[in-house]
Amino acid sequence: MRRNAVNPLAAGCVAVHHCRMKVRGIVAMALALLLAACGGSPHRRPALGIAPPEDTPAAFRKCQFDMSALGAKYQILPDKDYHNGCSATHALKLVAIGIPVTNLGAVKCGTALALTQWVTQAVQSAAHDRLGGYVVKIESFGSFACRPINGIAGNKLSEHAQANAVDIAGFVLADGRRITIAKDWNGPDADSRAFLRQVRDAACRRFVTVLSPDYNAYHHDHLHFDMGKGHLCR
Ligand SMILES: [Zn+2]
């Protein structure tokens, strides 16, 4: 939460009075920016302007360097083009990024880097802050999937069809607790609800698009993260 206190645009805007508390003591201009960004609805969050990564060989090399600098272990996957709009280029197979993440296939490097940053910089501290615990496993619904948005025929292809997205379903703690989006996003435990919103908000500072159950019913059981062009944080 300290990070939020010095970066008003990154602060979670759960309610205007909450935002005011977070920015107490910060210059008036920052306050005005923050209140504008909060908007009128508790479920609408500002798009934070994370730029989609370039999809070039040079950017891929830089991304690998940045992954290694974070201590990530990964394998470089051969480029795949399925000639139906689906592809997985400049993609990695993640071997170790700080916390095991289940069920991941190919992940485009830019998305893998944002995921690694989220795992190493945000998830453990949120678990400490909100749950007094330690995450030992993150459960995902996968990364690459050659399918349209929301799986509905006729929709344009999902970012998953380019291995550019990851769906996060839950977290297992060292003491055995299992916090899932499906069960806990609107569940009875306030600490679990706060933890899930904290990791969602942290993802919004690293991914271009973050969709939670607040977005629509298709996301009732997972957090969708991608590095496409959507600029959404809900
Ligand atoms: Zn998704």
pLDDT in tens, 193-215: 999 999 999 999 999 999 999 99
**Residue 184: strand, helix, or coil:** helix
Q: Helix, strand, coil % (nearest 5) of the chain?
A: 40, 20, 40
Contact 223, 168 (CB under 8 A): yes
Residue 15 to residue 17: CA distance in whole angstroms: 6
Q: How far is the CA of 29 from the centre of ligand 1 (A)?
A: 36
Q: Could you tell me the sign of the dihedral formed by the alpha carbons of 80, 82, 88, 94, in that order? A: negative
User: 44: pLDDT confidence band, cut at 50, 70 and 90?
Assistant: low
Spacing, Cα 43 to ligand 1 middle (Å)? 19
Tokens of 51: 């730029």
pLDDT at position 5, please? 34
* Percent residues over pLDDT 70 in the chain: 79
Q: What is the pLDDT of residues 61-83, one digit of tens each?
A: 999 999 999 999 999 999 999 99
Are the C-beta atoms of 24 and 46 separated by less than 8 Å? no
Q: If you measure from the C-alpha of residue 28 to the centroid of ligand 1, how many angstroms do you get, rounded to a whole number?
A: 38
Residue 16 amino acid letter = V
Instruction: Compute, in angstroms, the gap from residue 21 CA to the centroid of ligand 1.
Output: 33
pLDDT at 47: 55
**What is the distance in A from the centroid of ligand 1 to the CA of 221?**
11
H helix or E strand, kind and range, residue 139: strand 135-142
CATH code for the structural domain at 58-233: 3.30.1380
- Ligand 1 mean position, distance from CA 158 (Å): 8
Residue 65 token pair: 């360097």
Measured in Å, residue 20 CA sits from the centre of ligand 1 at 32
* pLDDT score of 27 more than 50: no
- CA 13/CA 171 separation, integer angstroms: 24
- 6 pLDDT band, cuts 50/70/90, is very low
Amino acid identity at 28: A
Ranges 42-51, 136-145, 172-181: which has the least confidence: 42-51
Rounded Cα gap, residues 193 and 50, in angstroms: 25
Confidence of residue 230 (pLDDT cuts 50, 70, 90): confident
Runs of H (alpha helix) within the chain = 2-6, 16-22, 28-38, 57-69, 109-118, 124-131, 181-184, 190-204
Residue 22 has pLDDT above 70, yes or no: no
What is the residue extent of each domain of the chain? 1-46, 58-233
Sign of CA dihedral 132, 169, 230, 35: negative
In angstroms, what is the span from residue 118 Cα to ligand 1's centroid? 16
> Which has the minimum average pLDDT: 50-54, 106-110, 184-188?
50-54
Q: How far is the CA of 224 from the centre of ligand 1 (A)?
A: 4
Q: How far is the CA of 57 from the centre of ligand 1 (A)?
A: 25
Q: How far is 81 from 167, CA to CA, in rounded Å?
A: 22
Torsion of CA 53, 61, 84, 141, to 10 degrees: -70
Could you tell me the two tokens for 147? 């399918």
Q: If you measure from the C-alpha of residue 17 to the centroid of ligand 1, how many angstroms do you get, rounded to a whole number?
A: 32
| pLDDT digits 0-9 by tens, 111-164 | 999 999 999 999 999 999 999 999 999 999 999 999 999 999 999 999 999 999
Place of tokens 């297992």: 172
